[in-house]
Structure formats: C-alpha cells, structure tokens
C-alpha cells in the first residue's frame, strides 16, 4: 500500500480546507472503490481525508416532493430506510442489489456518484429521477452532472453533500448484473412524473445516458408494448468479454420492459 | 504514525500504526489475530470479513483508522473458552469446509446474519453469501450449516 497521511475532520468546512491545503489529497467515503484504487496505485495521494465523521453528510429526510439523502449514507442504509421504501421503493431496491452485503455496509451514495463508474447503479437512479446533486458550493442537475467515463461536473476539491431525489408517481429499475461483481452489464431506470417519463441507461456506454426515444414512447403509452418495435442503435455501446455492443442494445430494451413490469407488480401489491 | 484506539473482541486496544494500515493488516500483523484470512486482497472473496459495529465488512477494504472508536469482532471472538460457538459446531457437523480458507469470513457473515433475528431460509442465506467465495465446497453444506447454526443460536438465547 502506498503511503499517505490520514485525517478525519468532523465538519464539511474542515474537510474542504484540509483538501485545499493538500497538494493531491482525496476524500475517502466508503473506500469500496478508492481503497482498491490505492492498492493498484491508480491514484497516489499524499493525504486521505475521511468523511466518515461528518454528521452533516449523513441521513435521509423526506420533504413534500422529494427525498434528501446525505452523501455518506451507505447503500445498506438506503436499502433499509423506511422513508426511501415508502416514497421511492425502486431506489431502495437498487441500493439493495449493489455488489454484496459487505460492500453495501461501507459504500456510499456520494462515493458512487463522484466515481461515476460506467456500470454503476446509482447514476441510473439519479439521472432517471432527475435528481439534484447539492455540493458544498452549488446545486447540479443530474442532466449536467455525469460528463463522461469516470468524469463528473465536480470541480477539484468540490464535495457532494446530499442528493435530492424528486418523488415520482412510479419508478422501477432492472439490471442485468455481471455475475461476479454485480455491476450492471446493462441497467435501466424508468420513472414517471404526472405524464413526463424519464428513462436512463447505465452499463451500455462510457457514461450513463437518457434513452429519449423510450421516454417519448412511454409518455404516450406507459406499457411494455410501447417498446416492442424499438431497435436500439448499438454503435456507441461498450463491447467486452461480458457482452457485445449488440447484446447490450438488446438488453436496454429488455431491462426497460422489466423495469416497467416491476412497477406494474408493485402497484398490484 | 497515528494512534488508533478501538475495541477488538471485547478488549480495548490503543496502538500507533502507519496511517495506510488496512484493518486486515492491523488485525493480523499488529494484534497477531491470524484467524482473519486474506484471500484476494482485491475486495472480492470475503475471506477477510469481520464485524464492525454490528456490520460485516471486508477488512482488506477498510483502513484501520477508519475503524477508530469502533467495536470489531473477528472469528477469534466466537470460541468461548475452548467451547465452539453454535455456528462453528454447525460448520463442523455439516462438513461446511474443506481447505478452510474461506471459513472465517463465512462464519462472521453467518453469525451477523443470524443475529439480525429475522427468519432465514435457503434463499436469504445464499443472497447474503454473495460476497463470500468458496473454491472447495460448492456452498451446499455451508448453506445447510448456516441454517442449522442460526436455528441453534435462536434457541440458545
Ligand atoms: C466487490 C465490489 C462490488 C461492487 N459492485 C457494485 C455494483 O454492483 N454496483 C455499483 O454501483 N457499485 C458497485 N461497487 C462499488 C461500490 O458501490 C462503491 O461503494 C462506490 O462506487 C464508491 O463509494 P464509496 O463510498 O466506497 O467511495 P470511495 O471509494 O470512498 O470514493 C470513491 C471516489 O469518490 C470520491 N468521493 C467520495 N465521497 C465523495 C463526496 N462526498 N464528494 C466528492 N467526492 C467524493 C473519492 O475521493 C473517490 O475518488 C462494488 C464495489 C466492490 C468492491
Ligand atoms: S481478502 Fe478481502 S475480500 Fe478477499
Ligand atoms: S473451504 Fe476451501 S475455500 Fe471454502
């Protein structure tokens, strides 16, 4: 393991100051991405600033039209949260299928978004619900936040503080998981807000994106048969040992249909 | 170097460690608790699972300093004065190990699951074992042992 010095500030201001004083420091949240990255020497920061003791980054609160989730809230906490289960059950389900229980006990919402892995689950929910990312400096809409492969709109030293998820009328998420890691080979999040529909896709391209053709079709007719005739173009899609681009294109449609079926089943309960 | 103070298996510990020390290294090298195994060191296998504040974590993917102030339980905490824990006895009875390398992580995951106090069945055990790999047994006997061990734990408390 590389050498670094470790700090555990207790306020957002102290953490941001510590990072600004460091030449190449990094925030540490759950460490479920960053610690493997440090072991592989893909990053070699002199300073690690642990966000684990900052109370202002924790917790889940419901407002009238949205649910606010603190950046260091773990995947397990979101999975188990009665507030999330009541207002956005698809988000709790999504969190409960990230990796494995041990990863979920440490990994956090903020860490997942800052990392913006092309196969990660949370970016699909954030983009698919049109959430807002509140940082220590400003608020960023989900449409602007995810910029490219492992790239976000965050400036150097900027910290995700909490994420505001609008409460949809209905939403669902389905992923075809990589059997080893559980990352999404393709994952599709579908949500509906009084007639307007959002559909986001993770795992297929270098960065999460909106499938606008599905959104338009579903806005007219919110049912799986609205998607039957759609061929999804695969030219920009990833192709690797897990799945070809064409297979991923097929999965985008199938996962969108499964997400809608989940919504229908939930309504019946 | 930074001083880390935490509780391991009921004992308060406070020692100076290099800042980059992993929890797994801290337990094995600094406290000489070699029960926690390092299978992959790449966050995949779960051999290194320990319980921190009641939650299972991969100790190879956590810094010891992140666990400062926590209560840590390792596989060494299960045996009570030479008497096997009900979950350990179930692993023995059901032949839930061959080489034994994955066993410490399996046991800690199983004990944490049983302590949640929820009814468990084969499916919930298999789901909970998502992060624990075994290259020997084929899982069948591990699942059977966990179901039996959890039942024993319930009747004993
Ligand atoms: C075995 C395994 C399986 C996994 N499977 C999945 C899966 O199926 N789906 C999935 O989506 N993910 C998966 N993950 C990744 C997991 O969800 C990580 O927890 C997550 O990607 C990173 O969150 P973290 O809290 O651990 O962040 P860290 O690893 O601590 O940090 C990641 C990056 O984000 C930065 N950062 C952290 N918090 C903030 C903040 N508040 N503001 C600004 N920057 C910040 C850090 O500086 C670092 O660069 C898996 C991981 C492992 C090890
Ligand atoms: S050694 Fe930690 S997960 Fe394999
Ligand atoms: S018993 Fe050998 S790896 Fe599980």
Write down the pLDDT at residue A39.
97
Nearest CA in chain B to A53: B66
Give the model's pLDDT for residue B6.
97
**Are the C-beta atoms of A131 and A125 separated by less than 8 Å?**
yes
Decide if pLDDT at B138 tops 90.
yes
Helical spans, DSSP H, in B77-139: 86-93, 103-115, 122-128
B90 shares its domain with B124: yes
Domain CATH code at residue B71: 3.10.20.30
The percent of residues above 90 in pLDDT, for chain A, comes to: 94
| B73 and B6 housed in the same domain | yes
DSSP state of B85: P
In which band, very low, low, confident or very high, does the pLDDT at A73 lie, cut at 50, 70 and 90?
very high
**Segments forming the whole domain that contains residue B125:** 86-156
Structural domain count, chain A: 2
The verdict on residue A124 lying in a domain is no
User: What's the gap in Å between B49 CA and the centre of ligand 2?
Assistant: 7
Does the beta carbon of B58 sit less than 6 angstroms from any atom of ligand 2? yes
Query: Which has more pLDDT, B104 or A1?
Result: B104
Task: Give yes or no for a contact between B56 and B114, defined as CB atoms under 8 angstroms apart.
Answer: no
Q: Same domain, yes or no, for B59 and B109?
A: no
- What CATH number is attached to the domain comprising A259? 3.30.390.50
Give tens-digit pLDDT for A129-160. 999 999 999 999 999 999 999 999 999 999 99
Q: pLDDT at residue B128 above 80?
A: yes
Whole-number Å distance, alpha carbon A76 to ligand 3 midpoint, is: 27
Per-residue confidence at B117, pLDDT binned at 50, 70, 90? confident
Q: Round to whole Å and give the CA distance between A52 and A34.
A: 14
Contact at CB, B46 and A99, closer than 8 angstroms: no
Same domain membership, residue B111 and residue B94: yes
**Tens digits of per-residue pLDDT, A166-184?**
999 999 999 999 988 899 9
> 3-class SS at A142?
helix
Specify the residue for token string 């009814």: B119
Would you state the structure tokens that stand for residue A249, as one six-digit string?
């294109």
- The encoded tokens of residue B101 equal 């390398």
pLDDT value of position A228: 86
Question: What ligand has the least distance to the C-alpha of B99?
Answer: 3
pLDDT higher than 90, residue A125: yes
Which of B77, B106, B140 finishes a domain? B77
pLDDT at A266: 80
d(CA A243, CA B85): 45
**Range of the structural domain that residue A39 is part of:** 1-53
For residue A268, is pLDDT > 80? no
What is the reported pLDDT for A146? 98
* 0.90 surpassed by pTM: yes
Please tell me the predicted confidence (pLDDT) of residue B157. 61
Indicate the residue among B33, B59, B77 that finishes a domain.
Answer: B77
Q: Which of A53, A68, A95 is the last residue of a domain?
A: A53
Mean pLDDT of chain A: 96
Query: What's the pLDDT tens digit per position in A194-220?
Result: 889 999 999 999 999 999 999 999 999
Enumerate residues 56 to 115 of chain A having a beta carbon within 8 A of any beta carbon in chain B.
76, 99-103, 105-106
pLDDT digit string, tens, across residues B67-108: 999 999 999 999 988 999 999 999 999 999 999 999 999 999
Hunting for tokens 């790239």 — which residue is that? A151
Q: Are residues B71 and B96 in the same domain?
A: no
Bridge partners of B15, per DSSP, are: B4
CA R_g for chain A? 18
B50 and B106: one domain?
A: no
Answer whether A124's CB lies under 8 Å from A187's CB: yes
* Min Cα–Cα distance to chain A from B33, Å: 20
Mean of pLDDT values over A64-78: 98
Q: Which of B42, B77, B112 is the last residue of a domain?
A: B77
Please state whether beta strands B71-73 and B2-8 pair in parallel, antiparallel, or not at all (unpaired).
parallel
Residues B93 and B143 occupy one common structural domain: yes
Same domain, B53 and B97: no
Spell out which residues of chain B touch residue A34, defining contact as CB-CB under 8 Å: none
Token pair listed for A59: 């917790």
SS3 content of chain B, % helix, strand, coil (to 5): 40, 20, 40
Token output for A200: 């986001």
């Amino acid at each position: 393991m590389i050498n670094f010095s470790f700090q555990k500030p207790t306020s957002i201001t102290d953490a941001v100051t510590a990072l600004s004083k460091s030449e190449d420091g990094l925030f540490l949240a759950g460490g479920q991405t960053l610690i493997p990255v440090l072991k592989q020497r893909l990053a070699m920061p002199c300073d690690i600033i642990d966000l684990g003791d900052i109370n202002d980054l924790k917790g889940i609160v419901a407002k009238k039209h949205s649910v606010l989730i603190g950046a260091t809230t773990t995947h397990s906490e979101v999975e188990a949260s009665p507030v999330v289960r009541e207002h956005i059950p698809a988000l709790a389900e999504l969190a409960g299928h990230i990796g494995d229980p041990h990863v979920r006990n440490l990994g956090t919402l903020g860490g997942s978004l800052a990392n913006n892995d092309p196969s990660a689950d949370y970016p699909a929910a954030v983009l698919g619900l049109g959430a807002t990312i509140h940082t220590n400096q400003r608020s960023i809409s989900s449409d602007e936040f995810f910029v490219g492969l492992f790239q976000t709109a965050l400036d150097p030293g900027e910290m995700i503080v909490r994420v505001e998820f609008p409460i949809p009328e209905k939403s669902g998420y389905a992923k075809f998981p990589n059997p080893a890691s559980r990352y999404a080979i393709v994952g599709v999040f579908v949500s509906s807000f009084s007639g307007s529909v959002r559909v986001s896709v993770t795992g297929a391209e270098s960065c999460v994106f909106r499938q606008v053709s599905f959104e338009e079709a579903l806005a007219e007719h919110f049912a799986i048969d609205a998607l039957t005739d759609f061929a999804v173009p695969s030219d920009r899609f990833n192709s690797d040992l897990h799945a070809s681009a064409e297979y991923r294109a097929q999965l985008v449609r199938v996962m969108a249909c499964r997400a809608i079926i989940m919504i229908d089943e939930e309504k019946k309960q | 170097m930074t001083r880390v103070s935490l509780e391991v298996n009921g004992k308060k510990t406070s020692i100076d460690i290099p800042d980059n020390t992993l929890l797994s290294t801290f337990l094995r090298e600094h406290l000489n608790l070699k029960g926690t195994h390092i299978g992959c060191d790449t966050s995949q296998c779960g051999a290194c699972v320990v319980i921190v504040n009641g939650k299972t974590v991969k100790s190879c993917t956590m810094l010891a300093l992140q666990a400062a102030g926590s209560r840590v339980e390792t596989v060494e905490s299960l045996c009570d004065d030479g008497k096997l824990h009900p979950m350990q006895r179930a692993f023995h009875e059901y032949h839930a190990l061959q080489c034994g390398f994955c066993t410490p992580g399996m046991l800690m995951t199983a004990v944490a699951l049983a302590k949640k106090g929820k009814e468990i069945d084969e499916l919930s055990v298999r789901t909970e074992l998502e992060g624990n790999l075994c290259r020997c047994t084929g899982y069948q006997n591990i699942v059977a042992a966990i179901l039996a061990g959890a039942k024993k734990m319930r009747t004993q408390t």
